[in-house]
Amino acid sequence: MNKRWIVGITGASGSVYGVKLVRALLEKEFEVHLVITDAGWRVLHDELGWSSSKRKEELAERFTNGNERLIYHPIQDIGASIASGSFRTEGMVVAPCSMGTLSGIAHGASGNLLERAADVMLKENRRLLLVPRETPLSVIHLENMLRLAQLGVKLIPAMPAFYQQPASLEELTDFMVGRVLDSMNIEHDLYRRWGEP
C-alpha cells in the first residue's frame, strides 16, 4: 500500500489540528496531498496568522523546507490526481471539518476538490476520517454525521480529553491529532495513553 494520505483543511475553527497532522505525517515520511478550502485559508489567517494571498509560499515556509512529499492542490483543481479513483492512497482525513463540508460529503455534492476527493474515498471503499468542529450541533448536523457513519466514515469530533492533565493548548492539540493518528493506524507518541506511566 502507498504511504500516501490526503489531508483536507476547512473553515471550521481548529485549523491547528490539520497543520499538526500534516507535520506528523511528513515526519513519518508519508506523502501528503493537501487541499484547503477558501474558508480554511481564512481561518488559518485568523487563528495562526498565515497569509492567504501567498499560499504556496506559506506552505513552503511552514511545512516543506525543500521536502517534496507535500503536494498542494488548489481547491478548484478538479483535474488534480486526488479527484480520481485510479490514484491510490491509504485514505483521507479532513481536520477540521466544517458542517458545510460535512454536508457536502454526506450528500455527494463534489462541489470542490476536497468534496470530490472525499467522494472518491467513499466510492473506492477507502478510509475517510472527519474531525468535525462545531457546537452546538443541530439535528441536520447529527443526521449528516449519522449518514456518514453508516457509510463507514470514521468521525472523530474535536473533543480533547483532560485525563492527561494538559498544561498547554499544544498538549490538547497533540491529544486530538494523536487520536486521529490512532484511527489511521499510525504509531506516535503525541500523548500519554490511559494506564501508561
Q: What is the CATH number of the domain that holds 53?
A: 3.40.50.1950
Number of independent structural domains in the chain: 1
Confidence of residue 51 (pLDDT cuts 50, 70, 90): confident
Q: Which three cell numbers, joined as nine digits, stand for 187? A: 504509531
Closest CA to 92 of 9, 27, 5: 5
What is the model's pLDDT at position 106? Answer: 98
E strands, 38-149, in order: 70-73, 91-97, 127-132
Residue 2 is which amino acid? Answer: N
For residue 127, pLDDT over 90 is answered with yes
What is the model's pLDDT at position 60? Answer: 85
Closest CA to 127 of 86, 184, 70: 184
Q: Which three cell numbers, joined as nine digits, stand for 45? A: 489567517
Residues 6+ apart with CB under 8 A from 2: 31, 88, 89, 90
Q: Residue 78 domain-assigned?
A: yes
**Arithmetic mean of pLDDT, 77-106:** 98
Residue 122 is which amino acid? Answer: L
What is the model's pLDDT at position 12? Answer: 97
List the domain range (segments joined by +) for residue 158.
4-183
Q: Residue 189 domain-assigned?
A: no
Q: Residue 53 domain-assigned?
A: yes
